[in-house]
């Protein structure tokens, strides 16, 4: 396929480039504002019990948990501001889409709605409508009420205010990350290629991948829910993989030109060889990301949409647009050598093209293979040590604390946690269907569960096993009854899980549904855990099969899986150490440390990083296999393969890591985690794993690296994949990296 494609691209290069630039304009115009269109939710399975409870609240009782609130401050005391507070509550209740307004002043002045010092009070409300409409409404209400109202100081907060600020923050984050990554990447590409013309081509493919992915997300959101957080992955993987794939192809093209091929023949040979490796590398990454589609949370599925789209457009840019550009540029690919003035100013000689057996990475491989046990054991112990903190991982769900401390919605939520006696805004709904004759005994038992402050029911309010006040008659309708449990503890985290476990253990008088944050955390962990084996199986099986097709070996794919798990465990351990335990958090913008790690992050990072690590594995193995087929010398094949790819893979990994590291500048906590974790994992994989563990393992296994049963050997001979020169070349064909 690629052999037939290359001549077409060469012959119709101008048409291809014109269509590419028209696509860039279209994708930028339609998808450029995609972050404004997407959802900030998606952290729950719609079929889980907590979501069914929320649906029953809405459909049966026409109410639900408060999702918008106003925090009101009266310096003289909220009891002296009754008239203004009541007027504020009444005014909020009149706003379109706002229902169920309950405030300190219109609910009998309960102490749970008043701060401990008496200077602040809450106005709780519910915004109805779709999530997108509710977020827009929360923004409008914030603009209306933030500030002063009849002498009261007012700040808005709540679930949809958090969502609104998350969306705005991510838009700013993308602009900031791109303003960091693109210029620095451009400079590094010039250092790698020397030629400004050659350096511009990977950036072109990267931009095409980003805008193409934005267009995909824009179109997808019309048919399904898409998380706004996925835009960050679209940007990082689009730019990073677009540059990676282009880097390999442009380097191979320049190799072929130095071998004496014409421009057209060099393009064809590049597509036939490096293009094939890029194709199956991209397939590996897409298969790894596709495992996210098995999870019921559209937050995770959205990262699959974004990641697969980014890889697909990076692949199309590298295999279609880039060859056309290479054919159009011809020998000008080496124009504008910006390293020449630097060398001249520093009086440096141009780098000498070295033989394959005297390069840096060849020396590294030989050194490692002389002491494979010592080097391999040392690196394995280091990775295991880095991974140990993951044993102490505590999973939670994201809330307002993903925002920075300067965000108003986060400040309001923190004030509720610290300054108010109860957790009225975090009440857990309980739905009983059908309505039992009496809930008194059940409510009494629930109020005794550790972590419960009180239970509100239709026939009374219960605390510590006794009825303390009249109830809420509206809590009972024909065919159903509801209760409201106000927790005394932080409901997102281990304490919340213990609370919901205790509540669900109480025998219920009829079918019961528990909702709220504690139930959502428990249900979400179960939903993820039930699908995790299938996702792991898909990733591992796809990776194993593709690596077998590249190598014809069963040992090398098994080795790759083991080394990947080692590398990932080290990354996960570091993420717990930094983001859960708070070590060195001040160096990355001081995100709020909650003592938990978002439940979805290890799954997301596993699928992303497994794909990316296989990306470099394919490039390395393609050259090792090439030399093994030519010589049958395992040790030489490893050394030559590492020398051919070492500088290139390291440069590609450094550029990709830089793109991910740019998202450490994000103001969203788990986007920082994703950026830092992925960037570190890419660097560890390209250095310690590829530079030390792979040579150690392959030296110890010797010729057994290439073992497979005879039947599979015959299968590989028929359908196997390889990247090979038409003729061997004893000289290192890698472009020297650096000045």
Q: Extract the tokens encoding 15.
A: 């048409």
pLDDT band for position 349 (cuts 50, 70, 90)? low
**pLDDT of amino acid 342:** 62
Residues 33-54 have pLDDT tens digits of 888 888 887 888 888 999 999 8
**pLDDT of amino acid 344:** 64
Q: HSE on the CB side for 638, CA within 13 Å?
A: 28
pTM: predicted TM-score of the whole model, two decimal places: 0.85
| Residue 77 CA to its chain's centroid (Å) | 45
Q: Using an 8 Å Cβ cutoff, are 592 and 662 in contact?
A: no
Residues 440-481 have pLDDT tens digits of 999 999 999 999 999 999 999 999 999 999 988 889 998 899
Coil vs helix vs strand at 382: helix
For 589, phi and psi rounded to 5 degrees?
A: 95, 5
Report the distance separating Cα 687 and Cα 693, nearest Å: 9
408: pLDDT strictly greater than 60: yes
The 8 Å CB, 24+ separation contacts for 80-84 are 81/151, 81/152, 83/150, 84/149, 84/150, 84/151, 84/152
Report the distance separating Cα 37 and Cα 26, nearest Å: 17
**pLDDT of amino acid 36:** 85
Q: Which residue has the higher pLDDT, 583 or 726?
A: 583
Burial class of residue 5, CB neighbours in 10 A (0-12, 13-18, 19+):
middle
Coil vs helix vs strand at 172: helix
SS (H, E, C) 483-498: EEEEECCCCCCHHHHH
Q: Which residue has the higher pLDDT, 341 or 178?
A: 178
10 Å Cβ neighbour count for 739?
15
**pLDDT of amino acid 338:** 66
For 27, phi and psi rounded to 5 degrees?
A: -65, -40
Domains of the chain: residue spans and CATH: 2-39+165-393+523-719 (no CATH), 67-157 (3.30.70.1320), 428-515 (3.30.70)
Q: Which residue has the higher pLDDT, 14 or 178?
A: 14
Residues 274-303 have pLDDT tens digits of 888 888 889 889 999 999 999 999 999 999
Mean pLDDT score, 83-99: 94
**pLDDT of amino acid 16:** 94
Residues 477-503 have pLDDT tens digits of 988 999 999 998 877 778 889 999 999
For 731, phi and psi rounded to 5 degrees?
A: -100, 145
Mean pLDDT score, 175-186: 87
- The overall average pLDDT reported for the chain is 88
Provide the percentage of residues in the chain whose pLDDT is more than 90: 53
Report the distance separating Cα 738 and Cα 351, nearest Å: 9
Q: Using alpha carbons only, how large is the chain's radius of gyration in Å? A: 30
Report the distance separating Cα 598 and Cα 607, nearest Å: 16
pLDDT band for position 398 (cuts 50, 70, 90)? confident
pLDDT band for position 648 (cuts 50, 70, 90)? confident
Q: Which residues on neighbouring strands pair with residue 512, listed in sequence order?
A: 432
Residues 544-567 have pLDDT tens digits of 888 888 788 999 999 989 998 999
Report the distance separating Cα 445 and Cα 454, nearest Å: 11
595: pLDDT strictly greater than 80: yes
């Amino acid at each position: 396929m690629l052999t037939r494609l290359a001549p077409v691209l060469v012959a119709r290069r101008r048409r291809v480039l014109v269509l590419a630039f028209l696509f860039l304009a279209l994708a930028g115009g339609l998808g450029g504002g995609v972050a404004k269109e997407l959802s900030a939710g998606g952290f729950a399975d719609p079929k889980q019990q907590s979501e069914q409870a929320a649906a029953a609240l809405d459909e049966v009782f026409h109410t639900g948990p408060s999702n918008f609130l106003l925090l009101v401050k009266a310096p003289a005391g909220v009891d002296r501001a009754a008239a203004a507070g009541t007027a504020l509550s009444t005014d909020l209740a009149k706003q379109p889409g706002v229902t169920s307004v309950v405030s300190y002043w219109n609910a009998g002045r309960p102490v749970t709605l008043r701060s401990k010092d008496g200077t602040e009070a809450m106005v709780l409300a519910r915004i109805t409508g779709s999530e997108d409409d509710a977020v827009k409404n929360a923004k409008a209400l914030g603009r209306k009420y933030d500030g002063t109202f009849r002498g009261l100081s007012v700040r808005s907060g709540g679930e949809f205010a958090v969502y609104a600020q998350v969306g705005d923050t991510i838009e700013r984050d993308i602009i900031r990350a791109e303003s960091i990554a693109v210029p620095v990447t451009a400079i590094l590409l010039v250092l790698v290629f020397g030629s400004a013309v050659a350096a511009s081509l990977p950036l072109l493919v990267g931009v095409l991948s980003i805008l193409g992915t934005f267009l995909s997300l824009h179109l997808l959101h019309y048919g399904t829910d898409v998380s706004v957080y996925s835009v960050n992955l679209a940007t990082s993987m689009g730019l990073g993989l677009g540059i990676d794939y282009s880097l390999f192809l442009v380097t191979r093209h320049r190799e072929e030109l130095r071998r004496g091929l014409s421009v057209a023949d060099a393009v064809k040979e590049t597509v036939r060889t490096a293009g094939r490796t890029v194709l199956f590398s991209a397939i590996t990454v897409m298969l790894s990301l596709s495992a996210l589609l098995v999870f019921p949370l559209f937050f995770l599925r959205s990262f699959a949409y974004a990641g697969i789209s980014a890889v697909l457009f990076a692949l199309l840019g590298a295999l279609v647009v880039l060859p056309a550009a290479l054919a159009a540029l011809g020998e000008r690919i080496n124009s504008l050598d910006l390293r020449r003035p630097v060398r001249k100013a520093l009086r440096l000689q141009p780098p000498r093209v070295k033989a394959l057996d005297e390069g840096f990475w060849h020396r590294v491989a030989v050194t490692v293979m002389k002491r494979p046990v010592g080097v391999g054991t040392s690196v394995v112990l280091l990775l295991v040590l880095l991974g140990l903190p993951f044993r102490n991982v505590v999973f939670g769900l994201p809330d307002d604390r993903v925002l920075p401390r300067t965000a108003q919605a986060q400040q309001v939520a923190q004030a509720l946690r610290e300054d108010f006696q109860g957790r009225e805004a975090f009440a857990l709904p309980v739905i009983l269907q059908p309505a039992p004759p009496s809930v008194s005994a059940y409510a009494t038992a629930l109020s005794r569960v550790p972590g419960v402050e009180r239970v509100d029911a239709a026939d009374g309010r219960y605390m510590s096993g006794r009825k303390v006040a009249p109830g809420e008659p509206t809590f009972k309708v024909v065919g159903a009854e509801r209760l409201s449990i106000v927790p005394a503890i932080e409901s997102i985290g281990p304490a919340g899980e213990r609370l919901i476990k205790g509540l669900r253990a109480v025998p219920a008088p009829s079918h019961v549904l528990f909702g709220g944050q504690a139930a959502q955390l428990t249900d979400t962990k179960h939903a993820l855990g039930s699908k995790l084996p299938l996702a792991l199986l898909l990733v591992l099986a796809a990776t194993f099969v593709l690596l077998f097709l590249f190598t014809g070996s069963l040992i090398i794919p098994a080795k790759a899986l083991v080394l990947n798990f080692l590398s990932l465990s080290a990354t996960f351990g570091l993420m717990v150490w930094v983001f859960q335990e708070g070590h060195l958090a001040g160096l990355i913008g001081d995100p709020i440390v909650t003592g938990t790690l978002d439940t979805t992050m290890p799954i997301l990072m596993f699928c992303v990083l497994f794909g990316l690590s296989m990306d470099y594995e394919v490039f390395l193995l393609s050259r090792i296999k090439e030399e093994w087929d030519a010589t049958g010398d395992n040790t030489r094949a490893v050394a030559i393969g590492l020398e051919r790819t070492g500088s290139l893979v390291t440069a590609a990994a450094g550029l990709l890591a830089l793109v991910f590291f740019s998202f450490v500048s994000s103001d969203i906590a788990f986007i920082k985690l994703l950026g830092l974790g992925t960037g570190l994992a890419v660097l560890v994989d390209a250095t310690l794993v590829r530079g030390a563990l792979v040579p150690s393992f392959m030296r110890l296994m010797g010729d057994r690296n290439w073992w497979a049963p005879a039947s599979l050997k015959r299968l590989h001979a028929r359908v196997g994949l390889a990247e090979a020169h038409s003729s061997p070349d004893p000289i290192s064909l890698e472009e020297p990296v650096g000045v």
